[in-house]
Chain A
Amino acid sequence: MNSTRRDLFIYAGGSAAGALLTPAPWRLITDTALWSENWPGIPSPPRGEIRTKFTNCSVCRAGCAVRARCVGDQPVQLAGVASHPLSHGALCPFGLTAHHLPYHPARLKQGSAEQALAAASAAGGRIAVLDLRPGRTASWTYRRAMAALNGLYVTADQPVAFDLHQAKTVLSLGVPLLDGWGTPGNVWAARPGFRLIQAEAIESRTAALADVWLPIQPGTEEALALAIGNAIQHGKADDERALSLANELTHNGPALVLDNSGSAAAMALNQLLGAAGHTMVARPEAPVPDSWQKAVLATGLAQIEDRSISVLLIDESAVDRYLPWHTIERKLVRDNPVVVTFASSRGGYARHARFALPTAVYPEFAEDIPTAIDSPAATFRISTPLAAPPPGMVNPAEFIATLADLPKSDALRERADAIHQAGRGTVFTPADGKTVAVKSLTAEVFWKSLSEAGCWIDEPGHGRAPQAEPRPYLPPSEPGSGGLPLVALLATPQAPPLISPLMTKLYQESNLRLAPNRVALNPSEARAARLEDGAHAFLETHLGKCGVEVSVDAAVPAGVVLVGTAPGILDVCGAAARAKVVAA
């Protein structure tokens, strides 16, 4: 019997049908899927002993305590420490996924520290350091270095701290109190004890969770604070809401007023309400060695003469708040200024700097975290490294200390010794969950506790009333001025410069938080501008324009554009700036 081609096809058909009745094709599908999970290039934690390490998160200045599950030397899971006296076991999405940061594809990896050092040394004229997270031990190094070099130490810090646990009524002027402000665990621990009134233009998450949401015109927060102040002082006001709020704040105290910019009006209102020195204190700082006290004081950017800085060193390895580049640029000399930035990505000031030097990222380096805005007592915590940094990373404090010829020393240890010498406060150790008085420890044991992610908290009662800086109130310009019909509101809280590239659900997919490069518009504004959700567009202000992606969100009121906080957007857009969005 001869086999024909037709027989062969029928045989193959039978084989295919038979194969479907065996486990082979189904297992091949499963196994191929599993195999694809282990392709070369896909990070895979090494096998090794599973250990628990502790550190403090330095992604923001909340400094939440972190328990890290490590396989070998690699952290694979981060969680909070439930017994911690400040963070109470809470960790935000940025902190939970921060062990991904060392693998971020946008990470800055190269830069010549030698060339930058030579250029900064050779340049004449005035030198300045811009510190985007003041209050650290590194900040003191910068201040000492600037004292040696007759330079300036520049910050944009809010000089106060608040005690939510003592407050019964809190008026928040657009502050994202329940959405990333301060130490999230501490805020939520204090939340049952106070009534929250959220005065804000949009119904943010904090507004939705507040006891009262008070919709206001964008950019009128400071005006509202002034009106309430007048109502308290004179017992009358044109605005009924201001009168009602004044009444509530006065009669349901202790009361506290929070705002994003530390405006003089909000500070003065807190003074009127008797919060100063009680629920609002000058930002406390841990003791420092006596020899450091010769350091220069901080200078605000606005106080510096235009075109006066020849060498600007920017530490953006830790960022609390970006300052728009145009406000910095006008302080630089016109001819060939030397700008050196220490950054973890090219997204920030590296776009404008002559030298961009790569820095280690959390959790690769040891650094202390300054006292959080919601801590009325000084704290001292060290972000203990969980992984080794890649080669070629530059330590900004070492660079600037070298430039100023400061003697080499272990500044963190020196500061820990100064705290121990002061003999005040307690230290909490996450490994055993115990809190002990500093007085009962030797300097060595105290340092060991801090090195193991311990948290020193000063005794209460050392807070002092902050000084309100007199600043004229500038009302927002009229709507529609200059052909820019929208008022720009900055999305809060500001995102860290690097966030986990795997945190796609929050940003790239669901856009639950406004991504840094996005703007959100009311549907009617979007229709008028012929923009759809996800469209590419330009955000235009009187300072320039930048490319953005558009989200259409009914929660954004008409006449407002809610903008992300990417440095590129901040370059052209400040709070309550006039803007328009046009299709790309």
Chain B
Amino acid sequence: MKHRGKIAFFAGMLTALGAGWAGFPYTLYRSRPQPVDFSHKVHAEKAGSKCDDCHSFRADGSFTGIPTLDKCAGCHAAAMGSTTAEKNFIDNYITPQREPQWAAYARQPENVYFSHITHVNRGKLKCESCHAAHGSTGKLRPYQEDRISGYSRDIWRGKRMSDCVACHEQQGLEHSCLDCHK
């Protein structure tokens, strides 16, 4: 057959394209649900909570990150509503004093130092600038972990080094290696 070679070549190419674009991401990442069915939306709308009510800064300026159980227990020592999610949270975590093993979507690798307080207080950045609409989601999506590197998939979405550099250049700010890689 005249085009036999071309057909074989393009068949191989299509297979690889399909596997690379569709199959590879499924294979690369392992998904796991967050331990608690948490709604940022409910906390923002019904309780009127702001981001820094729970994700606060310590007195020395360091960022607390995801709140610990003590913080949650301040409001949820007893049920405040009638949802199953809250009941499960109280039964499984608050009552037995068991810390939920949250997975942080935006956790950076070990070799990266990021100062939240510098960006929030000095840079006047809003949380949404980096975390998009995460603070108004009704449900926590599964955490996706790279099987090879062990890093969260989310750090590739707007939190890469090139994104940091691009933003600093856009704002006309200086930056050097040791700012983040100390």
Show the binding face of A for B, using Cβ within 8 Å.
1, 6-8, 10-19, 21-24, 27-28, 30-32, 34-35, 37-38, 44-45, 50-52, 77
Contact = CB atoms under 8 A, between A and B. Distances in A.
Contacts of B28: 27, 31
Contact of B149 (A17, A34, A77): A34
A14 B149 contact: no
A22 B20 contact: yes
Given A34-B149, A35-B150, A37-B110, A23 B20 contact: yes
B13 interface: yes
A32 B148 contact: yes
B12 A15 contact: yes
Contact of B11 (A11, A24, A31, A37): A11
A23 B24 contact: yes
Given A31-B149, A34-B109, A34-B149, A18 B20 contact: yes
Nearest to A25: B20
B13 A31 contact: no
Which of B4, B11, B20 has most chain A Cβ within 10 Å?
A: B20
B83 to A, nearest CB: 30
Given A7-B4, A10-B9, A37-B111, A22 B148 contact: no
Contacts of B111: 37
Interface residues of B, number: 32
Nearest to A11: B12
A24 B20 contact: yes
Which of B1, B16, B148, B151 has most chain A Cβ within 10 Å?
A: B16
A55 to B, nearest CB: 16
B148 A21 contact: no
B8 A11 contact: yes
Contacts of A37: 109-111
B15 interface: yes
A32 B149 CA distance: 7
A38 B21 contact: no
B72 interface: no
B180 interface: no
B58 to A, nearest CB: 8
11 contacts: A10-B5, A10-B8, A10-B9, A11-B12, A14-B11, A18-B14, A21-B16, A22-B21, A31-B146, A34-B151, A51-B62
B2 interface: no
Contact of B16 (A1, A15, A77): A15
B77 interface: no
Contact of A35 (B1, B16, B149): B149
Nearest to A52: B60
Contacts of B15: 14-15, 18
A17 B13 contact: yes
B8 A24 contact: no
A21 B20 contact: yes
A22 B12 CA distance: 13
Nearest to A30: B149
A24 B62 CA distance: 37
B19 interface: yes
B124 interface: no
Contacts of B113: 77
B17 interface: yes
B62 A50 contact: yes
Given A14-B9, A44-B110, A52 B20 contact: no
**What 8 pairs between A and B have smallest CB-CB spacing?**
A22-B20, A14-B12, A18-B16, A18-B13, A34-B149, A14-B9, A15-B12, A31-B148
B122 interface: no
B166 to A, nearest CB: 18
Contacts of B46: none
B8 A7 contact: yes
Nearest to A34: B149
A77 B19 contact: no
A77 B150 CA distance: 24
A24 B16 CA distance: 10
A28 B15 CA distance: 18
A12 B19 CA distance: 14
Given A7-B4, A31-B148, A35-B150, A21 B9 contact: no
Interface string B24-45: 1100100000000000000000
Given A13-B12, A21-B20, 10 more contacts: A12-B12, A14-B14, A14-B16, A22-B16, A22-B24, A31-B28, A35-B148, A35-B150, A37-B109, A44-B110
Nearest to B24: A24
A231 B63 CA distance: 64
Contact of A19 (B8, B20, B151): B20
Contacts of B110: 37-38, 44-45
A77 B179 CA distance: 13
Contacts of A8: 8
A439 B35 CA distance: 55
A6 B12 CA distance: 13
A89 to B, nearest CB: 17
A14 B10 contact: yes
A24 B28 CA distance: 9
A44 B150 CA distance: 14
A39 to B, nearest CB: 11
Interface in B40-58: none
B149 A21 contact: no
